[in-house]
Amino acid sequence: MAGGKIRRRAVLTSMRPVLQSEVTGCGIASVGAIDRVTRITMFRTSIGRLRAVGIVEGVSFLLLLGIAMPLKYLAGMPQAVSVAGWLHGMLFIAFCIALTQARQEAMWDARRTGTVLIAALLPFGPFVIDSGLRKQDEVIRAKR
């Protein structure tokens, strides 16, 4: 910090406010997490809820594949897969419910719905489709 002052200000970046912390006097600037207002407005649409569940489900899938599976087969700890697998399964069910709601609200055709579903089955898939979902979510929120 070196005696610098910390200033926070909301910055409009790609149509979403982000908290930006600047430490003046020492030349350090970092962009923080999405502010609270954006996190709350994300859940106002079904696509926003789908994005949120998709990110959590994607992380759980990566934890299952990257941590729990090696613990089961390399360290002989099958409990890791039991716990992580159960959690991932519940999140996948929540994702399917959110996908059904998003399909109804956004009037998606079977191709778009199938693309999102297939992406959820692939590692890193939910992260790849998130930017497209974010753009569509912003369009829907702008119409309201």
pLDDT range class, residue 64, cuts 50, 70, 90: very high
pLDDT per residue as tens digits for the range 93-130: 999 999 999 999 999 999 999 999 999 999 999 999 99
**Residue 99 is inside which H or E element, if any?**
helix 78-106
User: Is the same domain home to 16 and 68?
Assistant: no
Q: Which domain holds residue 12?
A: 5-38
User: Is the same domain home to 28 and 49?
Assistant: no
User: Is the same domain home to 101 and 69?
Assistant: yes
Residue whose token pair is 């207002």: 37
CA 27 to chain centroid, in Å, comes to 31
pLDDT per residue as tens digits for the range 24-49: 444 444 344 455 555 666 778 899 99
User: Is the same domain home to 58 and 11?
Assistant: no
User: Is the same domain home to 27 and 92?
Assistant: no
